[in-house]
Amino acid sequence: METITVVISARNEETKIGRCLSSVHQLADEIIVIDNESSDQTHAIAKQFTSLIFERKNNLMLNVNKNYGFSKAKSDWILSLDADEVIPLELSKEIKTILAQSNNHVSQIYGYWIARKNILFGKWIQHGLWWPDEQLRLFRRGRGSFPCQHVHEYINVDGPTAHLANAFVHHNYETISQFIYKMDTIYTESEVVKLIDSKYQLAWYDALRFPISDFIKIYFAQAGYKDGLHGLVLSMLQSFYSFIVFVKLWERQKFKTFDISVDDVSNEMQKSVKDFRYWIISVHIQNSHSTLTRIWYKILRRLCIVPISK
């Protein structure tokens, strides 16, 4: 049976890292913790589970330090986790089965995608951006690393990959303040850099299109409405996230002046109203049990414009 190293990156996670480490201590042959300048008890708690704790300067590009942790691993396989993530027993058993069979050269797989159950504001969110939210986290040592180009990125694996049946758990945002803080200090900053690197050309109407498009995509097209009030609030928060990305881009351009009129804004809003109407009708079509009702709604939808949000 081949061996596995669990690499965990953490900063000020004293309330969560113990739960994470407890979930993998029976699975891992080796545990590596990267402590990104924690000022709480993160280091002390991690020390109860492993002596392999590496202090690193906190980096806005979080994945740089994760790659450093990968370089210190000695096992055949690496499982990458954050301190707020947990490996359930069923997934642990599945990974052990993979390790037991991985020396079978009939089918060589070098990495595995694993679905992630995101718990946001106390509830497992099963639609929108947050499920199945597959992440490539298990890979052969020396075969995978993060590109380190932006925060939201996947591990690149050199070789064939597959998918595991069981999911791991992500105890994501617990408070609104937590969401807003990370949105402002980490995620939108990274998104702005990515757009600047892509030579994005700022347009005034994106102040409306960014947030409206994201809300429609998550709440309607990705069925966020099925998560009730959680789905509505999360769709609106993601919409706000997109608006902040826009205004930070605008800020980077020294608050460039755009000459726009009330009519310009009104025309743009009318396009959005048609887009909303299209997706509301589409939801009715999907949820209707009557053939005649579906036909009627499809006729109504044909009167709408093709949506800008897909």
Instruction: Give domain status of residue 157, yes or no.
Output: yes
Instruction: Give domain status of residue 262, yes or no.
Output: yes
> How far does Cα 190 stand from its chain's mean position?
13
* pLDDT tens-digit readout, 101-132: 876 654 689 999 999 999 999 999 999 999 99
Q: Decide: 117 and 50 in contact? Cβ < 8 Å.
A: no
Whether this prediction's pTM lies above 0.85 is answered by yes
Residues 140, 284 share a domain:
no
Instruction: Give domain status of residue 70, yes or no.
Output: yes
Residues 163, 71 share a domain:
yes
Q: In 3-state terms, what secondary structure has residue 4?
A: strand
Closest residue by Cα to residue 196 from 153, 255, 250, 154: 250
Instruction: Give domain status of residue 310, yes or no.
Output: no
Would you mind telling me the total number of residues written for the chain in this entry? 310
pLDDT for the residue 305: 52
Residues 230, 99 share a domain:
no
How many structural domains does the chain have?
A: 2
Residues 232, 138 share a domain:
no
Instruction: Give domain status of residue 308, yes or no.
Output: no
Domain boundary among 127, 144, 171: 171
Q: What percent of the chain has pLDDT over 90?
A: 83
Domain boundary among 143, 171, 199: 171
Residues 264, 234 share a domain:
yes
Which residues form the domain of 73? 4-171
Q: In 3-state terms, what secondary structure has residue 10?
A: strand
186-191's contacts with Cβ under 8 Å and 24+ in sequence apart are 186/60, 186/62, 186/151, 187/151, 187/152, 187/241, 188/241, 188/244, 188/245, 188/248, 189/60, 189/248, 190/60, 190/61, 190/150, 190/151, 190/152, 191/150, 191/151, 191/152, 191/245
* pLDDT tens-digit readout, 6-27: 999 999 999 999 999 999 999 9
* pLDDT tens-digit readout, 29-71: 999 999 999 999 999 999 999 999 999 999 877 899 999 999 9
Residues 180, 131 share a domain:
no
